[in-house]
């Protein structure tokens, strides 16, 4: 006896009848505890305890305090130093890897590393023979640990995004910094000029200047050695104007201090600086405090260490990161946050 099945019976079901509740969880490493707390408050969730500690021999340990099985877990950790927690950049990287591996082993549905400051991003190419491309190595380590996605801010170089085979969501602090300059410094746009610290930042500076509605100029510089910069001359008019130097990061501060002095020597009435990442390593506070700079504004992608001079102000990037986390969790468009203008400059 032959049974003939109808077309409707042969058709495969369009979806499985499973009632599945997505869960979001948020954890933070010790390099970004304060930023993680700000994001959690805005999301209306509690930070998941990652049980982080360092053994006497320096090894890092992690054990999540509750079940994360089936959850999308977002791990907030910049690869940076946090002196208050006794964490170096290398400690932060190892801690992030351990947290990702623990989440994968605990059967998380997706593991997303929220790494606002991508440490080692300046080592993105071989500038001399026998050098490593460490930014690529970090990407390989994160993917080997099991990360499903990476969220970062204002990468130092665009090719870092290409070191990953997993999705990378690139955020930018441009809206925060342009809003600050517009509110606090742009009393008269005719008196304002946006400064690119080198040729590599001209595209970013042009975009920044367009947002403000001000002209821009370029500093020509030479770098005789790593972390040493010599400012040559200014290309553009800064005479009698308020100059705002725009960069992605401030590290030792030597380049910025020299740039400020050059701009003052060229006739600028005031010099301010804005950047996404305020690393301020070594004697940066002393160098910048003694410079002609009137103010420096950075975001909290990197925790600000104690002893900062009064001219340094820190804005939070938690709102942008919160929106990004929410959109990733709900599978919405992340680029809509910036109207498609979060591309690498």
Q: Which residues contact 67 (CB under 8 A, 6 or more apart)?
A: 106
Residues for the chain: how many in total? 345
**Which has more confidence, 85 or 6?**
85
Which segment, 214-218, 236-240, 313-317, is predicted with the most confidence on average?
A: 313-317
Instruction: Count CB atoms within 10 A of the CB of residue 261.
Output: 15
pLDDT tens, 32-42? 999 999 999 99
Class of domain 174-316: alpha beta
According to the model, what pLDDT value does residue 201 have? 83
Residue 150: closest CA among 76, 47, 248: 76
Give percent above pLDDT 70 in the chain.
88
pLDDT of 158 = 79
The CA distance from 5 to 9, in Å, is 6
> Strands across the sheet with 192-196, in order?
228-235, 216-225, 192-196, 242-250, 270-278, 295-299, 312-315
Determine how many CB atoms are found less than 10 A away from the CB of residue 188.
Answer: 10
Give the pLDDT score at 233: 80
CA distance 257 to 287: 7
Band the pLDDT of 189: cuts 50, 70, 90.
low
Distance CA(303)–CA(299), nearest Å, equals: 9
The average pLDDT across 44-59 equals 96
pLDDT tens by residue, 150-159: 999 999 887 8
**Each residue of 268-291: pLDDT tens digit?**
999 999 999 999 999 999 999 999
Element (H, E) at 103: helix 89-105
Q: Where are the domains of the chain?
A: 24-172+319-338, 174-316
**Quick check: 319 pLDDT over 50?**
yes
The pTM is what? 0.89
Residues 6+ apart with CB under 8 A from 36: 26, 27, 28, 29, 47, 76
pLDDT score of 20: 60
Percentage of the chain lying above the pLDDT 90 cut = 75
DSSP count for the chain of H helices, then E strands: 9, 14
Closest CA to 304 of 94, 133, 132, 80: 80
Q: Across the chain, what does the average pLDDT equal?
A: 89
Domains 24-172+319-338 and 174-316 share a fold: yes
Joined tokens for residue 156: 């130092």
**pLDDT digits 0-9 by tens, 67-124:** 999 999 999 999 999 999 999 999 999 999 999 999 999 999 999 999 999 999 999 9
Q: What is the pLDDT of residue 344?
A: 47
pLDDT bin (cut points 50, 70, 90) of residue 229 is low
Q: How far apart are CA 322 and CA 45, in angstroms?
A: 11
Does residue 294 carry a pLDDT above 60? yes
Looking at the chain, which runs of residues are DSSP E strands?
A: 24-28, 53-54, 60-61, 72-76, 110-115, 149-153, 168-171, 192-196, 216-225, 228-235, 242-250, 270-278, 295-299, 312-315
Res 19: pLDDT:
54
- CA pair distance 254, 341, nearest whole angstrom: 31
Whether 207 is catalytic is no
The residue among 150, 155, 156, 148 whose CA lies nearest residue 169 is: 150
**CATH tag, 24-172+319-338:** 3.40.50.2020
Better-predicted residue by pLDDT, 336 or 213 = 213
């Amino acid at each position: 006896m032959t049974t003939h099945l109808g077309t409707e019976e042969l058709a495969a079901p369009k979806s499985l009848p499973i009632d599945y509740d997505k869960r979001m969880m948020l954890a933070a490493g010790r390099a970004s505890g304060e930023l993680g707390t700000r994001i959690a408050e805005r999301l209306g969730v509690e930070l998941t305890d990652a049980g982080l500690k360092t053994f006497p021999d320096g090894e890092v340990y992690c054990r999540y305090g509750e079940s994360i099985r089936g959850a999308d877990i977002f791990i907030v950790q910049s690869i940076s130093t946090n002196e208050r927690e006794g964490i170096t950049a290398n400690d932060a990287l190892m801690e992030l890897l351990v947290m990702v591996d623990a989440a994968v082993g605990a059967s998380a549905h997706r593991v997303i590393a929220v790494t606002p400051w991508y440490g080692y991003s300046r080592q993105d190419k071989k500038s001399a023979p026998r050098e490593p491309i460490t930014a690529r190595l970090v990407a390989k380590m994160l993917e080997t640990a099991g990360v499903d996605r990476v969220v970062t801010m204002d990468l130092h170089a665009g090719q870092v995004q290409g070191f990953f085979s997993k999705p990378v969501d690139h955020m930018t602090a441009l809206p925060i910094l342009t809003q600050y300059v517009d509110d606090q410094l742009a009393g008269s746009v005719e008196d304002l000029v946006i400064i690119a610290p080198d040729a590599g930042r001209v595209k970013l500076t042009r975009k920044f200047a367009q947002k403000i509605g001000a002209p821009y100029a370029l500093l020509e510089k030479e770098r005789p050695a790593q972390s040493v910069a010599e400012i040559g001359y200014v290309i553009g008019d800064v005479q009698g104007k308020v100059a705002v130097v725009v960069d992605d990061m401030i590290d030792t501060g030597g380049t910025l201090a020299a740039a400020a002095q050059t701009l003052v020597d060229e006739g600028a009435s005031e010099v301010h600086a804005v950047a996404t990442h305020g690393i301020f390593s070594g004697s940066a506070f002393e160098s910048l405090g003694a410079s002609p700079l009137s103010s420096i504004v950075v975001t909290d992608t990197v925790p600000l260490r104690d002893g900062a001079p009064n001219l340094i102000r820190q804005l939070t990037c938690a709102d942008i990161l919160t929106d990004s986390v929410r959109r990733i969790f709900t599978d919405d468009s992340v680029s809509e946050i910036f109207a498609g203008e979060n591309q690498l400059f």
